[in-house]
Amino acid sequence: MGGLETDLYQLTMAAGYFQAGKVNEIATFELFVRRLPASRNYLIAAGLQQAVEYLLNLSFTEDEIRFLRGLPQFAQAPPGFFELLSRLRFTGDLDAVPEGTPVFEGEPLLRVRAPIIEAQIPETYLLATINFQTAVATKASRLAEAAGSRAVVEFGTRRAHSPAAGILAGRAAYIGGSTGTSNVEAGLRFGIPVFGTAAHSWVQSFASELEAFRQLQRLLGPNTVYLIDTYDTIEGARLAASLGSPLWGVRLDSGNLFELSRAVRGILDAAGLAGARIMATGDLNEYKILELAAAKVPIDAFGVGAELATSADAPAIGGVYKLISDPTRFEMLVTGTTSVCPSPPALCVTPLPGVFSSDRFAAFPSDRMQLIAYYDGNGTAELDIHLVNPAANTCCVLT
């Protein structure tokens, strides 16, 4: 399962390792980010659970192997290679920093040690998993930092890169500090709090805004959030206030949030609804939230969509997965130059980035990583992974 969810070159290299008699050679790879994007100075590690699930299930079906046999790139591959694929399982060790850990340039997020074919094939899947979720968790952390005591909810599935990415964005955002997500499947699958009430189409579908609000209050009671900007925001706030309790509050999705939030707060307070809250949405990011927070606007919660679910200003954090030199052979690449390390890797410190690792075992204390999965003689066994949300101070056991 999942055997073909990789770049073709991982599989041609695997065939080549087989051809070259390297099947039993043990290789160690590390996944790390060489250079942080310009707008990031730390990362929040995320995606480990999906990485572990992939490694535990990695295998090739007959159909998948038949497809490979039909490709021109495998015309000369040794037949024994396909037999190897048909019984391939990941039997290596995986070390990783726990999800939610802050990591920095050059610091490994995970390390795979396995027979070289089993270590090479997972590169693409592990990178796609860790790069994406780490990007979103990091963005969520920045948003939570900007919002301070205000809640940030992940609302970006519609702008996520596929529905599947939307589910994982909700997960990663929660690890990074979001209070919850609008993605219902993420709620079911990962136990993350889910939020949402109604859109403009709800208001539009009724003959009047007041009728739309009445129906919503009847349905949602204390969870009612009126979206008040479909026609006129101030009038929308007055209509919402006229319905009194129960309600959670109102949502602003357009216009000048500095002015509107204060005006709406006044309308709610004047109606005796001091406990009603104001949520703001609409193309928000950490910079806009910082400005709003600095102005002490009466906004209680932010919903963030595209910017969070796509990490829009840094959509690709650029993690790489690199072969660690073994102690007997440790050439390294500094772009355009070959430098041969004069001493064993653990003692050799070379400037990052641009180095194919070798030194990072020494540069970063190993107690930041912990054993996540290991080979128990029959296959890879998995240890408990806990999903921790710093904002909610809750902890969901995932396995």
Pick out residues in 194-233 that bind its own copies (CB under 8 A).
Answer: 194-202, 204-207, 215-216, 218-221, 223, 230-233
Which span (138-146, 166-174, 269-277, 379-387) binds its own copies, by CB under 8 A?
A: 166-174
How far apart CA 315 and CA 332 sit, in angstroms, is 29
The two three-digit tokens of residue 209, written as one number: 């805004």
The 269-308 contact track toward its own copies, x by CB under 8 A, reads -------------------------------------x--
Residue recorded with tokens 């109102």: 250
Q: Could you tell me how many residues of this chain bind its own copies (CB under 8 A)?
A: 110
Q: Which is nearer to its own copies, 158 or 386 (CB)?
A: 158
Report if residue 243 touches its own copies, rule: CB under 8 A.
no
Q: Which is nearer to its own copies, 41 or 73 (CB)?
A: 73
Report if residue 267 touches its own copies, rule: CB under 8 A.
no
Residues 40, 314 contacting (CB under 8 angstroms) = yes
Residue 128, C-beta contacts closer than 8 angstroms, at least 6 positions apart: none
Which span (96-104, 139-147, 267-275, 313-321) binds its own copies, by CB under 8 A?
A: 313-321
> Restricting to residues 83-142, which ones interact with its own copies according to CB under 8 A?
116, 120, 123-125, 127-129, 131-133, 135
Residue 119, C-beta contacts closer than 8 angstroms, at least 6 positions apart: 27, 28, 29, 92, 112, 113
How far apart CA 310 and CA 162 sit, in angstroms, is 11
Helix (H, G, I), strand (E, B) or coil at 19: helix
Q: Which is nearer to its own copies, 176 or 365 (CB)?
A: 176
Which has the closest alpha carbon to 171: 152, 159, 185, 150?
Answer: 185
The 328-367 contact track toward its own copies, x by CB under 8 A, reads -x-x-x-xxxx-----------------x-----------
Out of 188, 295, 347, 383, point to the residue binding its own copies (CB under 8 A).
188
Residues 130, 31 contacting (CB under 8 angstroms) = yes
In the chain, the amino acid numbered 210 is L
Helix (H, G, I), strand (E, B) or coil at 332: strand
Out of 86, 238, 255, 363, point to the residue binding its own copies (CB under 8 A).
255
Residue recorded with tokens 């999965």: 373
Minimum CB distance to its own copies, residue 365 (Å): 26
Out of 272, 318, 327, 344, point to the residue binding its own copies (CB under 8 A).
318
For residue 246, say if its preceding peptide bond is cis, omega within 30 degrees of 0.
yes
Q: Which is nearer to its own copies, 246 or 272 (CB)?
A: 246
Minimum CB distance to its own copies, residue 329 (Å): 7
Q: Which is nearer to its own copies, 93 or 253 (CB)?
A: 253
Which has the closest alpha carbon to 371: 361, 360, 382?
Answer: 382
Residue 1, C-beta contacts closer than 8 angstroms, at least 6 positions apart: 57, 58, 59, 61
> Restricting to residues 8-27, which ones interact with its own copies according to CB under 8 A?
8-13, 15-17, 19-20, 22, 25, 27
Q: Which is nearer to its own copies, 149 or 335 (CB)?
A: 335
How far apart CA 129 and CA 134 sit, in angstroms, is 8
Minimum CB distance to its own copies, residue 118 (Å): 13
Residues 114, 90 contacting (CB under 8 angstroms) = yes
